[in-house]
Amino acid sequence: MIASRITPRVVIFGLVAQLALWLAMTLPTSLGLMPRYYLTSWFFRTGGSCIGFALALALNLEVAAEYRNTRWLRVAWLALAANAGISIFRMIFEGPLPGLVLENYSTSPLRGLLQHLAIVPANLALLVGVIAMCQAYHQVGLGFEIERRDYAVMIGIAAVLTGLMTFREGLTEAQSPYLTSRYLQQSGLVLLALVSAVSVVLHRMAMQMGGGRLALALRVLTLYALSRSVLVLLGAVTMPLTGPVRSYFLVLAWQAVAWLPALAAAYRAQLTVNAAKELARLEQGRMAQAAAVAS
Amino acid sequence: MKHGISDQDWEGYVEDRLPAAERDRIEAHLIGCLGCWEFYEQMAATTERLREAGAATRRGIPLSDEQLHAGLRGVFERVRAGQPGHATQRGGRIEQRLRYLEAVMAPMCGAQTAANALRAAARGSAARSLDEVTTDNWEPFLRSLTSIAAVMCGETGAHLVWRSGQF
């Protein structure tokens, strides 16, 4: 099992290591202490995020295999795996790699188009994942309930989305010559807002569980959905600001977000690993007990 | 009582709980009585085997802090609910196993979910309520709980619940 090696601790270590190394590579440049290794730091940033999503893909597939007879949850974890898989392409399109083949790629509107061609299906997969998960936990009939304040948060998210669409000049693709890019970015945002709204329900369910590994996984998943919405919003609202603090914060935050699906999947997968260990210990104890009684 | 040694005396002697004078009396008798010596050896060997089996079982069912917490919470819930003597009515064995199942599920899907799952499983089985779960309707109850665990904890977690619930 991959999950027995890729524990939440390993994922957190990967996240912290990526942020620390990226800072170590970039901060001295900003302070004028060393020359700018722009491409290297970009490759590093893309590579790290791709590793994060690749781990999420592998772990999600492993978790999905745990639900051979539970249709909704199988769909949910496979959809999350699809989100992670497509996000790898998104990272590649965002990074400098296509620039090795395509001239002026980093400044070309093609970059935005390719990026959003990946973001929309990735967000759709994430939406399918969180809806299927909510449906599965609701169906089991353990009394998970949505509270009034959850509806208030959902309305708040809808209001923020409306605002973002109204002032869409703040969006990165607002001026793209490709009409498809503009529509894709807006579709991606609608999907992201829907994901955030549904993840509020998921978070409420996690709160009502009273602890446990599953609740941790659901909370991290909620954090993933909400933090992406918040970062898109922050990016759009603070676009006129060009200071280094904004850049550093956004770049670091987006890098951290890339590891959250892997962390959520690692928490969920650890549930299985621990259960398998407990099961083995139980069987061993019973065998020892039977042997002692027989002798 | 044989040769002036009662069952309680033997038990106390094997468990090393007798006063010194009583212990000396039995030991003095054992020197000269082969029958009692063989009886003592059998008893001591059986006690030792039971001790080893108990230790193996404890090793097989280690309780984490979360499991202990869930178990204690269940006890307090029952105290608060005011159900005196209920455990003895349907047997402490069932009560104990229910608490154990709750403790097994709590670290996976949360203490509240575990408690709700037990209630839902009872409702969905022949028992109809958790208070009515007995050894007679235990198996359908356990099946119902396992199917809930399959959703909340996955197949491995459900298998753990199934095996933990078997007597």
pLDDT tens column, A56-102: 999 999 999 999 989 999 999 999 999 999 999 999 998 888 888 88
Q: Where are the alpha helices (DSSP H) in chain B?
A: 7-14, 20-32, 34-60, 65-81, 86-90, 92-109, 111-123, 138-165
CB B134 within 8 A of CB B98: no
Per-residue confidence (pLDDT) for residue B154, from 0 to 100:
95
| Interchain proximity A214–B164, CB inside 8 Å | no
Written as six digits, the tokens of B133 are 């779960």
**Residue matched to tokens 């809806």:** A131
Per-residue confidence (pLDDT) for residue A287, from 0 to 100:
87
CA angle, B16 then B21 then B27, to 5°: 65
Per-residue confidence (pLDDT) for residue B85, from 0 to 100:
46
**Which residues in A lie closer than 8 A to residue B151 (C-beta atoms)?**
70, 73, 136-137, 139-140
Residue B87 binned pLDDT confidence (cut-offs 50, 70, 90): very low
| Interchain proximity A213–B152, CB inside 8 Å | no
Angle at which helices B92-109 and A260-294 pack, to 10 degrees?
Answer: 150
Closest C-alpha to A219, from A230, A208, A233, A229: A208
Per-residue confidence (pLDDT) for residue A20, from 0 to 100:
93
Per-residue confidence (pLDDT) for residue A78, from 0 to 100:
98
For residue B130, give the H/E element and its range: none
Domains annotated on chain A, with CATH: 2-294 (1.20.1070)
Region B127-144: what's the mean pLDDT? Answer: 90
| Interchain proximity B56–A211, CB inside 8 Å | no
Rounded to whole angstroms, how far apart are CA atoms B66 and A236?
A: 44
Per-residue confidence (pLDDT) for residue B54, from 0 to 100:
67
Region B72-99: what's the mean pLDDT? Answer: 66
Question: Which residue positions in chain A have pLDDT lower than 70?
Answer: 165-171
Per-residue confidence (pLDDT) for residue B67, from 0 to 100:
64
The helix/strand/coil state of B134 is coil
B98 contact A CB<8A: no
B68 contact A CB<8A: no
Q: Find the residue in A nearest to B163 (Cα).
A: A279
Per-residue confidence (pLDDT) for residue A53, from 0 to 100:
97
Per-residue confidence (pLDDT) for residue B41, from 0 to 100:
76
Average pLDDT, chain A: 89
> Any idea which of A60-64, A128-132, B27-31, B54-58 has the lowest mean pLDDT?
B54-58
Written as six digits, the tokens of A182 are 């503009």
Render A134-165 in DSSP notation, one character per residue.
HHHHHHTTS-----HHHHHHHHHHHHHHHHHH
What B28-37 contacts at long range (C-beta under 8 Å, 24+ apart), as own/partner pairs, is: B29/B3, B29/B4, B29/B5, B33/B3, B36/B2, B36/B3, B36/B5
| Interchain proximity B156–A276, CB inside 8 Å | yes
